[in-house]
Structure 1
Amino acid sequence: MAGLSDQQIRIARSAREYVAEFGEPPSMRDLAAAVGLSSASTVAYHLRRMREHGLAVETRGRPSSRCPHCGH
């Protein structure tokens, strides 16, 4: 996970653990709580930056018209 911050690595690990435990992707709020952030928008920021580094983390919630791979 080269190029990612410690926070982004924790988000990726938390998402992977959540899927293993519950069988579905976490919500932004689930991820925020898991890594100790108070805002889901901060998680969204980190997820965008992670996509730029080639790591897409799937989340549950409101569907988006954006491509999950490139963000466009």
Structure 2
Amino acid sequence: MNWRPEHLTEREEEILRCIRWWIEDKGEGPSVRQLAHVVGMRSTASVAYHLANLERSGALIRDGRGWNICRLGH
């Protein structure tokens, strides 16, 4: 069953897709700066804001530089 919070923005979904791709491709999670570059954002603070929203929604769990994407819908 796919679970997708209705309140995720397109940007947040893009960030989740990027994290998933990065982990599958490189075997570890990206840094906030790397995420900003890949999704085309200049501000790492903006990326951090979206990551915090994703954590609050339960779609993402971070442990230092580790990432765990929870219940990511397609």
Report TM bin, short chain: 0.7 to 0.9
| Structure with larger RCO (C-alpha < 8 A, sep 6+) | 2
Higher strand share: 2
Alignment of 1:1-12 (within 5 A): 1-2=4-5, 3-12=7-16
- TM-score with structure 1 setting the length: 0.75
Q: Please provide the CA RMSD for this pair.
A: 1.7
Alignment coverage as a number of residue pairs: 61
Instruction: Report how far residue 57 of structure 1 moved.
Output: 4.7
Structure 1: any 5+ residue segments left out of the alignment? 62-72
Structure 2: any 5+ residue segments left out of the alignment? 67-74
Residue 38 of structure 1 aligns with an amino acid whose one-letter code is R
Q: Percent identity?
A: 36
SS in 1 for 2:30: coil
